[in-house]
Amino acid sequence: MCRVANFEFDAVATSVPKARGFVAECLDRWDVADLKESALLLTSELVSNSVKHTSGGGVVSVAMAGDVLEIGVTDLDLKSLPAVTVNPISTNGSLEQGVDNGRRGLMIVDHIADHWGVEELAQGKHVWFRLNKDDWAFRSACRCDEKDVDRIRIGSGEFVSVIAGPWDL
């Protein structure tokens, strides 16, 4: 991935709009504002879950490369991982009635994201989602696949590269 940015947050309700603002700024700067509505909704769900269900703050990570935007929320809470198997949509296309509100966030993520998952960490977890962007304006400027580029591994298991490019102007 060519772009990666992180935002640390505290376990307070005001962290949700701050995280949304951070993500919105990244998407505008990286010219993927058309993914903003979905990305901000899903970011809100993940940060809200972290604030509500963990004892500390966390980190929002935003990464973009090629044709994929990946956003994840990492916390250091050692509580159990969230349920990965969800059935978000009934046969009529609406959220199931009577579903525990604690699971609605991940059901929304499952319905909107192109891919999502949960990675268990030595201390805590990383919940991530991906949205595809087939026509990213900076795709041709992305050098992520070149052999001489340093890479780091992010929470979803993907490798990212932070490379300066036209999106930094």
Residue 139: pLDDT over 70: no
User: Which residue in this structure is represented by tokens 């087939």?
Assistant: 134
Beta bridge partners of residue 129, listed in sequence order: 71, 116
**What's the mean per-residue pLDDT of the chain?**
76
Domain that holds residue 73: 3-163
Q: What is the pLDDT of residues 72-82, one digit of tens each?
A: 999 877 665 55
User: Which residue in this structure is represented by tokens 């268990």?
Assistant: 120
Most confident of 37-51, 76-90, 119-133, 146-160: 37-51
pLDDT, position 93: 42
Give me the CATH number covering residue 97. 3.30.565.10
53 vs 65, residue with greater confidence: 53
Domain count, the chain: 1
Report if residue 169 sits inside a domain: no
SS3 71: strand
Q: Exposure of 124 by Cβ count < 10 A (0-12 exposed, 13-18 middle, 19+ buried)?
A: buried
Report if residue 168 sits inside a domain: no
| pTM as predicted | 0.75
